[in-house]
Amino acid sequence: MEPNTEVSSYLVVNRVEVLDHAGCSACGRGFSSDPIGEKALVLTLGNSERTYFFCSSCGDNIVSRVESEDARKRYLWDWTVPLRNGHRPH
Ligand SMILES: [Zn+2]
């Protein structure tokens, strides 16, 4: 089975936001469980204030298709770091 260091959430480094069960909004793949984390594309839609996260391969694909500068401003490359379950009460 999987190692018992289950990842329950991810820290998004620059935005300092913790995600629960982060997955790519395009392909659904979960982000890396690697302790150093993974590059991820963050899309913020201003009016609804919804945020979408994309894995690096989907992000590259998306960014390459963005045509207008205005749309490009909504995208930000960031870094997700998995957080381990380290705060269980004894
Ligand atoms: Zn993806």
What does the pLDDT read at residue 90?
47
Residue 85 has a CB neighbour count (10 Å cut-off) of: 11
CA of 42 to the centre of ligand 1 (A): 12
Q: List alpha helices for the chain, DSSP H.
A: 56-65, 69-72
The 10 Å Cβ neighbour count of residue 58 is: 18
**Residue 69 Cα, ligand 1 centroid: separation in angstroms?**
23
Predicted structure pTM score: 0.77
How many residues belong to the chain?
90
Domain ranges of the chain: 25-84
Per-residue pLDDT of the chain (90 residues; tens, 9 = 90+): 455 567 778 888 887 788 877 789 999 998 887 888 999 999 988 776 788 999 999 999 999 999 999 889 899 999 999 887 655 444
* 32 CA distance to ligand 1 middle (Å): 11
Say if CB 9 and CB 83 are below 8 A apart. Answer: yes
